[in-house]
Amino acid sequence: MCGIVGYVGSQDSLGVLLGGLKRQEYRGYDSAGVAVLSNEGELVMAKKAGKLQMLMDNLTAHPLASGHTGIGHTRWATHGAPIDVNAHPHLADDGRLALIHNGIVENFYEIKAELTARGHEFVSETDTEVAAVLLADNYAETGDLRTAFARTVNRLEGAFTLLAMHANEPHLIVAARHNSPLVIGFGDGENFLGSDVAAFVEFTHRAAAVGQNQIVAITPDSVSVTTFAGEPVVPEEFDIEWDASASEKGGWPSFMAKEISENPDAVANTIRGRIHDGMVVVPEIDAFGPDFLSGVSRIILLACGTASYAGLVGSYAIEKWAGIPVDVQLSHEFRYRDPVITPSTLVISISQSGETMDTLMAVRYASERGAKTISICNTQGATIPRESDAVVYTHAGPEVAVASTKAFVAQITALYLIGLHIARVRDTVPEALLQHSAQELSDLPAKLAEVLSVGDEIRTLAKWMSDSQAVLFLGRNVGFPIALEGALKLKELAYIHAEGFAAGELKHGPIALIDHGQPVFVIVPSPRNSAEMHSKVISNIQEIRARGARVIAIAEAGDAAVLPFADEVIRIPLAGPLFEPILAVVPLQIFAMELADAKGLDVDQPRNLAKSVTVE
**Residues designated catalytic:** 2, 611
| Cα 156 from Cα 545, distance rounded (Å) | 58
| Cα 482 from Cα 333, distance rounded (Å) | 22
| 140, 307, 393, 495 from 414: Cα distances, Å | 52, 12, 8, 30
| Cα 616 from Cα 52, distance rounded (Å) | 25
CB count, 10 Å around CB of 117? 8
Query: What's the distance, Cα to Cα, between the start and end of the chain in Å?
Result: 10
Return the exposure string of 412-433: e unless at least 16 CB atoms fall within 10 Å of the residue's CB, then b: bbbbbbbbbbbbbbbebbeeee
φ/ψ (deg, to 5) at 475: -160, 155
φ/ψ (deg, to 5) at 609: -110, 160
- SS3 for 169-218 is EEEEEEEEEECCCCEEEECCCCEEEECCHHHCCCCCCEEEECCCCEEEEE
H or E element, residue 123:
none
| 13, 376, 437, 533 from 320: Cα distances, Å | 54, 20, 12, 17
Alpha helices for 353-471 (secondary structure H): 357-368, 383-386, 406-426, 431-451, 455-464
Phi-psi region of 251 (alpha: psi -120 to 50; beta: other; left: phi over 0): left
